[in-house]
Amino acid sequence: MLVDSHVNLHHEKFDGEVDAVLARARAAGVGAMLTISDRISSTEKIRAIADTHPAIWRSVGAHPHYAADHRDLSAAALIDLAAGPKVVGIGECGLDFHYGFSPAADQERVFAAHIEAAQETGLPLIIHTREADAQTGRMLAEAMDRKSFTPLLHCYTSGLALAEAVMEMGGFISFSGIITFKNADDVRAVAARMPHDRIIIETDCPYLAPVPHRGMRCEPAHVVHVADRLAEILGLSRAEIDRLTTGNFFRLFSRARLEQGA
């Protein structure tokens, strides 16, 4: 069984098609997934999807693109939301200075609230970071000095130094269909250097469809292509990748493991 650790099933591109999308995922051997929060206003739609389908868990949080809309989001509010059913992670949150859709100060303020929520709940922190390696690393290190938590670098495309620093913190890293892209040698090089017991996989669907589906809407079923390429990068069999990444997912998201009985 494979687990897609980062899907956006509430996205409008899946409206009216979630059941069919999940059926294709099951047929491809994808037995579980984590559907991710991008905004607090998405919570109810995400909750309905997770509550309706077994082996689909959810997170609570706000993407850095929307930090300006969440300036007043507190750790206490996130902690309260995290008490809901099938919540296994905090995020997606972090810093994105590439697009600058929200001011840097707002992004850092909202990211800090998510970090505190992860510290208090014990849930993994699902991190989006782009062109913000130094700031992300600094905020994580300073917070870790105060109280431990488990960071997850989602859909990683940043530098080796940040990845290694987060591994030293006891964190995890997730790779998406980007590792199949022709010009992603730098991402594949990072993947090759990561501890095998800290790697998980994802699609980030409906975005970032892997080869051979580039240009199409991405679906959870496509995570098999991420697994295939990761097997090549690490020199492992697909069966080993399936066992490795699924085991790592349930070790990281321990609340999901308990519910699954894994």
In this structure, the dihedral spanned by the alpha carbons of residues 77, 172, 25 and 20, taken in order and rounded to 10 degrees, is 20
In order of their start, the domains of the chain are: 2-260 (3.20.20.140)
Tell me the β-bridge partners of 60: 90
In this structure, the dihedral spanned by the alpha carbons of residues 211, 212, 216 and 219, taken in order and rounded to 10 degrees, is -80
Tens-digit pLDDT profile for residues 1-28: 999 999 999 999 999 999 999 999 999 9
Please give the full DSSP string across 25-40, using - where no structure is assigned.
Answer: HHHTTEEEEEE--SSG
Tens-digit pLDDT profile for residues 199-211: 999 999 999 999 9
* Mean pLDDT in residue range 234-240: 98
- The pLDDT of residue 84 is 93
- Chain Cα centroid distance, residue 130: 14
- The pLDDT of residue 242 is 98
Residue 181: count other Cβ atoms within 10 Å of its Cβ. Answer: 17
- The pLDDT of residue 261 is 59
Is the pLDDT confidence value at 259 over 90?
no
Q: Return d(Cα 151, Cα 140) in angstroms, integer.
A: 8
Contact indicator for 65, 94 with CB cutoff of 8 Å: no
pTM: 0.97
Tens-digit pLDDT profile for residues 30-85: 999 999 999 999 999 999 999 999 999 999 999 999 999 999 999 999 999 999 99
Is the pLDDT confidence value at 244 over 60?
yes
- The pLDDT of residue 257 is 77
Res. 223 pLDDT band, cuts 50 70 90: very high
Where b means 16+ CB within 10 Å and e means fewer, 145-177 reads eeeebbbbbbbbbbeeebbebbbebebbbbbbb
- The pLDDT of residue 262 is 56
Q: Which amino acid type is present at position 145?
A: D
Average pLDDT, the chain: 97
* Mean pLDDT in residue range 128-133: 97
Tell me the β-bridge partners of 153: 127, 173
